[in-house]
Structure 1
Amino acid sequence: MIDLTTDSCSDLSREIIQSRNIRVLPLQVFINNQNLKDGEVTPQQLFKFVEESGNLPKTAAPSIAEFAEFFRTPGETIYIGISSKLSATVPNSILALELLDGNKKVYIVDSLNLSTGIGLLVLKAADLRDAGWGAAEISEEIQRWVPKVRTSFIIDTMEYLYKGGRCTALQAIVGSVLKIRPIIEVRSDGTLGVKEKIRGGRMKGLNSMLEDFKSHLPHVDPTRVFVTHTGCDEDAAYLVEEIRKTGAVQEVLVTIAGATISSHCGPNTIGILFMLK
Structure 2
Amino acid sequence: MKKPIAWIMDTTGYVTEQFKSHPDVYIVPLNIHFGSEEFIDDGIDLSNDELYARMKSSKDFPKTSQPSAGKFAELYEKLKEEYECAIAVHASAKLSGTIASSMTGAEMTDFKVYTVDSLALSYGLSGLLDRGLKLQDQGLSAEEITQRLEQETTDFRNFILIGNLSQLYKGGRMSGAQYYIGSVLKIKPIVQLTEKGELEPIDKVRSHKKALAYLLDRAKADHEQYGIDYFQIMHGHIPEQAEELKTELLKFAPDAEVLIGNLSSSLAVHAGEGTLAFMWRRPPAHV
- TM-score where L is the length of structure 1: 0.92
Q: Unpaired runs of 5+ in structure 1? A: none
Aligned residue-pair number: 274
1:148-200 C-alpha deviation (Å, 9 max, x unpaired): 11122111221111111111011011101100011111112111111110112
Tell me how far apart the structure 2 counterparts of residues 170 and 56 of structure 1 sit (CA, whole Å).
Answer: 20
* Alignment counterpart, residue 48 of structure 2, candidates 43, 46, 56: 43
* Alignment counterpart, residue 275 of structure 2, candidates 256, 261, 269: 269
CA RMSD of aligned residues (A): 1.9
Identify if the C-alpha distance between structure 1 residues 171 and 178 changes in structure 2 by more than 3 Å, giving closer, same or farther: same
| Equivalence map 1:169-208=2 (5 Å) | 169-200=176-207, 202-208=208-214
Q: Unpaired runs of 5+ in structure 2? A: none
Aligned partner of 2:33: which letter?
A: F
| Equivalence map 1:238-253=2 (5 Å) | 238-247=244-253, 251-253=257-259
CA drift of 1:46 comes to: 1.7
* Alignment counterpart, residue 130 of structure 1, candidates 112, 125, 137: 137
* Alignment counterpart, residue 259 of structure 1, candidates 265, 270, 274: 265
Equivalent residues of 2:11, 2:30 under 8 A apart: yes
Aligned equivalent of 1:25: 28
Equivalent residues of 2:89, 2:129 under 8 A apart: yes
Find out whether 1:82 has 2:85 as its counterpart. Answer: no
2:267 aligned counterpart, secondary structure: helix
Identify if the C-alpha distance between structure 1 residues 249 and 66 changes in structure 2 by more than 3 Å, giving closer, same or farther: farther
Aligned equivalent of 2:68: 63
Find out whether 1:121 has 2:128 as its counterpart. Answer: yes
Aligned partner of 1:60: which letter?
A: S
Aligned equivalent of 1:155: 162
CA drift of 1:22 comes to: 2.3
Identify if the C-alpha distance between structure 1 residues 64 and 219 changes in structure 2 by more than 3 Å, giving closer, same or farther: farther
Equivalent residues of 2:35, 2:60 under 8 A apart: no
1:18-56 C-alpha deviation (Å, 9 max, x unpaired): 258522100011126321111221232222112112432
2:269 aligned counterpart, secondary structure: helix
Tell me how far apart the structure 1 counterparts of residues 41 and 227 of structure 2 sit (CA, whole Å).
Answer: 30
Identify if the C-alpha distance between structure 1 residues 250 and 79 changes in structure 2 by more than 3 Å, giving closer, same or farther: farther
CA drift of 1:244 comes to: 3.3
Aligned partner of 1:262: which letter?
A: A
Identity %: 28
Equivalent residues of 1:217, 1:248 under 8 A apart: no
| Equivalence map 1:215-226=2 (5 Å) | 215-220=221-226, 222=228, 224-226=230-232
- TM-score where L is the length of structure 2: 0.89
Identify if the C-alpha distance between structure 1 residues 10 and 20 changes in structure 2 by more than 3 Å, giving closer, same or farther: farther
Identify if the C-alpha distance between structure 1 residues 250 and 105 changes in structure 2 by more than 3 Å, giving closer, same or farther: farther
